[in-house]
Amino acid sequence: MKNVKHSIIIPMYNEQEGIAEAYKRLTAVMQGLNESYELIFVNDGSRDKTMEIMCKIAEGDKAVKIVDFARNFGHQIAVTAGLKYCSGEAVVIIDADLQDPPEIIPAMLEKWKEGYQVVYGKRLKRAGETFFKLLTAKMFYRFINKLTGNLVPVDTGDFRLIDRAVVDTMNSMPEHNRFLRGMGSWIGFKQFPFEYERNERFAGETKYPLKKMLKLAKDGIISFSNAPLALASTIGGVMLAGGAIWLLVLIILEIFVIDIESSYLQITLSAMAFCTGLILIGLGLLGEYVGRIYDEVKGRPLFTVMRTINFEE
């Protein structure tokens, strides 16, 4: 595969309304640099005309390369595929919805040329996003940083520029439940927060509804912290101590104060229900970690590719 100066990775899922505009703006930016580049569009099992539109574009522009998944694998895996297939010395990850403006890529490249190996986008404003999404995002970043020791910079996403050395390191990390922004922080290297204002989505609907946001949050927390397991143990210890104290109180009341036989059954049933719930929560947390171990042990590939376009053999 021929090496190029810059690679742009664009994961796409049902982006037929905006993919042509994304290509237009990215091409204008990259051609203005007068350096070799490639645009790697990863089709994550789109069900609309996204792939049809991109195939027509790729016919007339060999700088456009397409990785077409055999099914939908998710945004994080689509970006991972782009990292596997790219050949640039500097690699930019950007979504097709144009919320992250392509026009700031040259400024990010300047930081790379200064010696920074990771230039990650830090959002000053997030236009077009609901109060609920802004609030939950703020809570998530602060929560995961409390668990992981400030691993993930606040108000960041996957939009970033990374050096070839960083790409190679991330490609050597085979975990299946991927949280790329956490991985990018964990590996280190010289990093720079590039502040910018995020735009509204150009067209179409968000591909990160609440269900996917929760899964991403869960992957981030479980992949980079054992704190949930420790929390379950702590709660168990507290409940054990509390139960012993409550039992002692009941005995004292029964012997020296009042007859509590009439309410004893209700108290016992309530305590059992509460403790059973805590036990099940602990088992659930343990199951999440065991499930991830099982995913890794199976050794399946992260994704399957149906075809590639404009990649040299």
Instruction: Give the pLDDT confidence of 112-121 residue by residue, as tens digits.
Output: 999 899 998 8
* pLDDT over threshold 80, residue 56: yes
Range scoring the smallest mean pLDDT among 28-42, 80-94, 207-221, 280-294: 207-221
Q: Give the per-residue pLDDT at 259.
A: 56
How far apart CA 7 and CA 38 sit, in angstroms, is 5
* pLDDT over threshold 90, residue 181: no
Indicate the pLDDT class of residue 151, thresholds 50, 70 and 90.
low
* pLDDT mean over 39-65: 91
* pLDDT mean over 191-208: 69
3-state secondary structure of 37: strand
Task: Specify whether the CB–CB gap between 194 and 109 falls below 8 A.
Answer: no
* pLDDT over threshold 50, residue 168: yes
Closest among 237, 241, 246, 238 to 264, alpha carbons compared? 246
In this structure, are strands 4-12 and 64-69 parallel, antiparallel, or unpaired?
Answer: unpaired
Q: Give the per-residue pLDDT at 4.
A: 65
Amino acid at 162: I
Q: Give the per-residue pLDDT at 90.
A: 93
> 103-126 in b/e burial notation, b at 16+ Cβ within 10 A?
ebbeebbebbeeebbbbbbbbeeb
* pLDDT mean over 275-291: 70
* pLDDT mean over 16-32: 90
Indicate the pLDDT class of residue 1, thresholds 50, 70 and 90.
very low
* pLDDT mean over 21-40: 91
Residue 33 burial (CB count, 10 A) = 13
Q: What value does the mean pLDDT of the chain take?
A: 77
Most confident of 81-90, 133-142, 154-163, 296-305: 81-90
* pLDDT mean over 227-246: 66
Indicate the pLDDT class of residue 172, thresholds 50, 70 and 90.
confident
Which neighbouring-strand residues pair with 308? Answer: 67
Q: Where are the domains of the chain?
A: 4-224+300-309, 227-298
Q: Which CATH superfamily is domain 4-224+300-309 in?
A: Spore Coat Polysaccharide Biosynthesis Protein SpsA; Chain A (3.90.550.10)
**DSSP character string of 162-189:** EEHHHHHHHHT---SS--HHHHHHHT--
Q: pLDDT for 216-236, tens place per residue?
A: 666 666 665 556 666 666 666
* pLDDT mean over 199-226: 59
The percentage of the chain sitting over the pLDDT mark of 70, rounded to a whole number, equals: 60
**DSSP character string of 200-220:** PPSSS--S--HHHHHHHHHHH
Amino acid at 134: L
